[in-house]
Amino acid sequence: MSVNSLRLVRCDRRAFTTLKIQLRSLFASSKTCNPKNFKDYESIKQEYKSQVPEYFNFANDVLDNWSRMEKVGSRGSNPAFWWLSEHGQQVKWSFQDLEVHSKKVANILSDACDLQLKDRVLVILPRVPEWWLVNIACIRTGTVLIPGTTQLTATDILHRLQASKAKCIITDDSLVDAVESVASNCPSLKAKLVVSQKHKQGWMNFQDLFRNASDDHKCVNTKSLDPMAIFFTSGSTGAPKMALHTHCSYGIGHTVNGRYWLDLTASDVVWCSSDTGWVKSAWNSFFSPWIQGACTFVHQMPRFDPKTMLEVLLCATFKGMKIKLGSMGKPAPEINVQIIDENHNVVPPGVEGQIAVQMKPIRPFGLFSGYIGDPQQTAAVLQDDYYLTGDRGRMDEDGYVWFHGRTDDIILSAGYRIGPFEVENALTTHPAVADCAVVGSPDPIRGEVVKAFVVQNAAYTLADPDKLIKELQDHVKKVTAPYKYPRKIEFVDSLPKTISGKVKRNLLREKERGQS
C-alpha cells in the first residue's frame, strides 16, 4: 500500500493554513470559553466512574461504532485521520475508511504473516499512515503490538526481538539492513513485512499484500484484560523492560484524557508531535482523540519545526484549578495519588515521601499490568495497595504534587536528603552550563557528596576550570539551599542518555563507585 493508493491529494499552502487556523481557533477558545465536557476538576473527580467490561476491543467497540455513526449521518464531516507529508501531500480518512483499510491489514497479519491471537508484532515505522492501520489491525486480530522508535539500532532491535519473542516485524527501508544483521539470532521471528515501494529479498511487501487483501474480516472478541501492547521502557536504570498493557488499559483508560483533559468533541482536530515509538503517540494521536471521535492530525516533518509548532501549541489547566508555578499540579481525576513513607503509610501534607498510585479498591485504568518476564521488578513497583512510581515528592494541603527527584537518585549526604533535580535546575540557570547531571559520589565522612557532571557551553570551554568550578558552586549556593551545592564538579563532553533522552544516572553512579 503506497500512500498514493490511499486518497493522496496535493496540499497547497491554503490547506495547511486552514489547519493552523482551526487549531489556533481551538487554542483561542480554550482561553475564553467554558469546557465542553465538564464543569471543573472537582466535579470530574466526584462524578467519574468507569467499570471494566468482560470483553472489550477498541477497534470493534469504538472505531467501528464511529464508522456506523458516519454511515447514518450521526457524525459530522470532520475526517478521522489527516496526514500531511513534508512535501505537502495529504491523506484524509473517515472512520469508515479506517474500518475498511484496517480490516485489509488485519487479514494480512492473519493470512500472509500467519499470526494468531496473542502473538507479538514489533512495529518500527515513522509517522506514515500505515502505522495507524497496523495498530488498529493488531487490535482487531488480538495480536500484541510492540511499538519501536525509528532511532533504534541493530543492537536495540535484537534485544527487543529476543526479549519479546516477536513472531513478526514490520518496518520500512531504513531499518531493513539493521533487522537483517540480527534476524538469524531471533528464532521466534517468522515473518518480515516492509512498507516500501521496493521489493526486498526475504521480506513480504506491504503494498502488494494490501492491494490484494480482502476487507472482509471479523474482529476477534478480546477480553478487556487480554494483552494488547508491550512498551519497552527507556532503560534509564538498566536494560529496557517490557511493560504490558491490556485492551482496556488505554482503550478505556484514556477516556479521561480525551474527554476531560483534552476536552475533545468529534469536531476537533488534535496534533500530537510524538514519534510513533513513544507511548505518548498511543495516548494522544490514537486512543484519546478517537475515543471522542475527533480527528488525529499527523505532520510528517523531517525535523522539529519550532515556528510551526509554537503557532498551535496548547497549554491548559483544568477549569477551577489554581496555577502553582513549579508544581506538577493535581493527579488526573480517576487516579488516587498518595505520598507514602517506607512503610507505605500516608504522610502529612508538606512531608516528602514516595509518590504512589493507590490500586485498591479500584485499580486505575491505564496502569500497566506488570513487567513481562521480570517478576522481581514487577514486585518492586506493585506493592500492597500501591504502584510505586519511583519518584519522590510532597503534596501540599490543596492536593498539588511537588516533584523532588527519583527514589534511586536521592543523595544522602551528612544526614541531608538531596534530590538531584533541584541542583540540576540551579546549575542550568548559569550561562556556562549547557547540560548537567547530578549523582551521589561516595565520601568517607559524609557518606555521599553531591557531584555534578557538566557539559559546558561553547563560550566557556576555554575558561579556567578551577575558577569555573568555584563560580558554579557559589551560584548553586545562592539559588538553592547551600548544603545542596555540588562539592565535586567534572566537565564532560556529553552525558550518557537513553534513546528517549533520559540521563543514564546509573552509569554515572557506577563510574563514581568504581573510582571510590
In angstroms, rounded to a whole number, what is the distance separating the alpha carbons of residues 491 and 511? Answer: 14
Q: If 0-12 CB within 10 Å is exposed, 13-18 middle and 19+ buried, where does residue 367 land?
A: middle
- C-alpha of 237 from chain center: 18
Band (202; pLDDT cuts 50, 70, 90): very high
Beta bridge partners of 193: 170, 204
Work out whether strand 401-406 and strand 386-395 pair parallel, antiparallel, or are unpaired: antiparallel
What pLDDT sits at residue 475?
94
In angstroms, rounded to a whole number, what is the distance separating the alpha carbons of residues 145 and 143? Answer: 6
Hey, what amino acid is at 9?
V
What pLDDT sits at residue 230?
97
The DSSP code sequence of 58-119 is: HIIIIIHHHHHHHHTT-S-S--SEEEE-TTSEEEEE-HHHHHHHHHHHHHIIIIIS---TT-
Q: What pLDDT, in 10s, does the model give residues 452-470?
A: 999 999 888 778 999 999 9
In angstroms, rounded to a whole number, what is the distance separating the alpha carbons of residues 226 and 212? Answer: 31
Residue 187: CB atoms within 10 A of its CB come to 10
The residue-averaged pLDDT of 410-436 equals 88
In angstroms, rounded to a whole number, what is the distance separating the alpha carbons of residues 268 and 275? Answer: 21
Q: Domain map of the chain by residue range?
A: 3-312, 337-405, 410-515
What pLDDT sits at residue 463?
81
DSSP-based helix, strand, coil % in the chain, nearest 5: 35, 25, 40
The 3-state DSSP class for residue 170 equals strand
What pLDDT sits at residue 357?
96
Q: What are the grid coordinates assigned to 361, written together?
A: 479498591
Residue 512 scores a pLDDT above 50: yes
The residue-averaged pLDDT of 307-311 equals 76
The CATH class given to the 410-515 domain equals: alpha beta
Q: List C-alpha distances in Å: 44 to 40, 47, 361, 363, 435.
A: 7, 5, 19, 18, 40
Q: What are the grid coordinates assigned to 242, written together?
A: 517490557
The 3-state DSSP class for residue 441 equals strand
What pLDDT sits at residue 87?
86
What pLDDT sits at residue 516?
53
Q: Find where cell 449521518 sits.
A: 73
The residue-averaged pLDDT of 360-382 equals 90
What pLDDT sits at residue 25?
46
Which residues 6+ apart lie within 8 Å of 425 measured at CB? 479, 480
Q: What pLDDT, in 10s, does the model give residues 229-245?
A: 999 987 656 678 999 99
What is the Cβ-side half-sphere exposure of residue 400, based on CA atoms within 13 angstroms?
Answer: 14
Specify the length of the chain in residues: 516
Residue 32 scores a pLDDT above 50: no
Q: Sign of torsion, CA 331 332 333 336?
A: negative
In angstroms, rounded to a whole number, what is the distance separating the alpha carbons of residues 503 and 514? Answer: 19
Which residues 6+ apart lie within 8 Å of 114 measured at CB? 190, 191
Residue 307 scores a pLDDT above 80: no
The 3-state DSSP class for residue 309 equals helix
In angstroms, rounded to a whole number, what is the distance separating the alpha carbons of residues 298 and 128? Answer: 8
Band (319; pLDDT cuts 50, 70, 90): low
In angstroms, rounded to a whole number, what is the distance separating the alpha carbons of residues 56 and 408? Answer: 37
In angstroms, rounded to a whole number, what is the distance separating the alpha carbons of residues 362 and 451? Answer: 42
| Angle between helix 64-71 and 95-107 (nearest 10) | 130
Which residues 6+ apart lie within 8 Å of 12 measured at CB? 88
In angstroms, rounded to a whole number, what is the distance separating the alpha carbons of residues 495 and 498? Answer: 10
What pLDDT sits at residue 28?
45
Q: What is the DSSP letter of 55?
A: B
In angstroms, rounded to a whole number, what is the distance separating the alpha carbons of residues 235 and 246? Answer: 22
The residue-averaged pLDDT of 319-336 equals 84
Question: 3-312 belongs to which homologous superfamily?
Answer: ANL, N-terminal domain (3.40.50.12780)
| Angle between helix 420-428 and 465-479 (nearest 10) | 120
The CATH class given to the 337-405 domain equals: mainly beta
pTM equals 0.81
End-to-end alpha-carbon separation of the chain, Å? 58
Q: Which of 18, 146, 25 is nearest to 84 (CA)?
A: 18
Q: Find where cell 486518497 sits.
A: 7
Q: What are the grid coordinates assigned to 113, written together?
A: 504473516
